[in-house]
């Protein structure tokens, strides 16, 4: 409906009865007042909780990784956060551990990491299969608690970068320090082209596992 201002009606705003009046780009309009439908199903509540958790994850990432995610999203008109969400939602929907960042064809590698569980205490032992990984590249490990609110083993949610990246040619197993013993963690291995993540120009994800810290 077109609204024509007059001496009596200069500008209308608000709701009366079943009608709402408003202004958009200088043009008055009226519409039927509608209360948005929000059923709050169990699936919706779970999805919203997961999105909130991913916001926490994104804030915990190293700055270099955030920059790389933003670079990946730019040609697609996506934010770096949305790139991570797209990657992780796909993984979690398939009951797979999250991977943070997609594989990079320039330094992607057909390798794997898996839980060894042979260590004791607040450590994770990861078994490394190098596959086609370039021997002069490095692997940076990040860990995140699967359930940060686990009773008796509470800890902050988010991703933690583990110490110094390891040269591919030197790695068959690796012990990663975590906050709690006897607790499940997601472990992500990032292949990078330098000895430090902050200096990396090529970063590839696509490798992750669930591991349990030593009892």
In the numeric block, which tokens belong to residue 22?
Answer: 């408003």
Domains of the chain listed by start with CATH number: 1-35 (no CATH), 42-212 (2.60.40.10)
Q: CA 119 → CA 5, 55, 97, 207, 212, distances in Å?
A: 77, 32, 21, 22, 10
Residues 6+ apart with CB under 8 A from 130: 109, 111, 168, 169, 171
pLDDT digits (tens, 9 = 90+) for 181-192: 889 999 998 989
Q: Is 58 helix (H, G, I), strand (E, B) or coil?
A: helix
For residue 167, the cross-strand partners are: 138
At how many degrees (to 10) do helices 80-93 and 63-73 cross?
A: 90
pTM of the predicted structure, to 2 decimals: 0.76
Mean pLDDT is lowest, of 86-90, 153-157, 174-178, for: 174-178
What's the pLDDT at 93? 79
pLDDT digits (tens, 9 = 90+) for 11-64: 666 677 667 777 766 676 777 767 777 777 887 888 888 889 999 999 999 999
Q: How far is CA 53 from the centre of its chain?
A: 8
What's the pLDDT at 111? 67
Q: Is 150 helix (H, G, I), strand (E, B) or coil?
A: coil
């Amino acid at each position: 409906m077109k609204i024509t201002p007059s001496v009596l009606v200069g500008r209308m705003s608000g709701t009366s009865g079943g009608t709402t009046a408003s202004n958009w780009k200088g043009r008055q309009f009226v519409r039927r007042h509608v209360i948005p439908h929000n059923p709050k199903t169990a699936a919706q509540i779970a999805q919203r909780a997961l999105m909130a958790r991913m916001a926490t994850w994104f804030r915990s990432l190293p700055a270099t990784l955030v920059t790389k995610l933003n670079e990946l999203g730019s040609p697609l008109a996506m934010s770096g956060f949305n790139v991570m969400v797209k990657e992780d939602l796909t993984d979690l929907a398939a009951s797979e551990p999250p991977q943070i960042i997609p594989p990079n064809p320039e330094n992607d590698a057909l390798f794997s990491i898996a839980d060894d569980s042979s260590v004791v205490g607040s450590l994770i032992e990861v078994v490394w299969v190098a596959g086609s990984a370039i021997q002069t590249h490095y692997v940076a490990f990040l860990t995140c608690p699967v359930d940060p609110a686990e009773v008796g083993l509470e800890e902050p949610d988010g991703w933690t970068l583990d110490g110094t990246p390891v040269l591919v040619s030197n790695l068959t197993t690796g012990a990663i320090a975590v906050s709690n013993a006897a607790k499940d963690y997601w472990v992500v291995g990032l292949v990078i082209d330098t000895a430090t993540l902050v200096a990396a120009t090529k970063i590839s994800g696509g490798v992750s596992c669930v591991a349990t810290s030593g009892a």
